[in-house]
Amino acid sequence: MVIDFNHMKEEILHHFKGGEKYMMAKMMDDGTNKILVSRLIPGASIGKHTHETSSEIIYILEGHGTSYVDDEETKVGPGFCQYCPKGHSHQLINTGTKDLIFFAVVPEQ
């Protein structure tokens, strides 16, 4: 399967997982896996949440922010990858001045 994010409509997800502002996402969800390209505007965040049944991988493409996996804080930018294993919690905050753009995979929901 090839996923063409260039021709997908972007969805706006307000206060995603209890976060600030909103996240914009182009998402493929086949009922088992989610694969998405998303962006957070400056000051926006994905709220802290726990992955009870799956893991999540977030790869930063553009912008800068703060990543939390459990209670570990890390400043992130292009080339950083946040990995949240099953049973752990995470959060992502755009602390930069430009959009934080990332690619994410949530396997085996």
**Residue 3 domain flag:** no
**Residue 50 domain flag:** yes
**Residue 18 domain flag:** yes
**Residue 34 domain flag:** yes
**Tens digits of residue pLDDT in 23-82:** 999 999 999 999 999 999 999 999 999 999 999 999 999 999 999 999 999 999 999 999
**Residue 2 domain flag:** no
Distance CA 57, CA 42 (A): 21
**Tens digits of residue pLDDT in 79-102:** 999 999 999 999 999 999 999 999
**Residue 6 domain flag:** no
Q: How many CA atoms lie within 13 A of 37 on its CB side?
A: 13
Give the domain range for residue 63: 11-106
CATH of the domain at 97: 2.60.120.10
Number of structural domains, the chain? 1
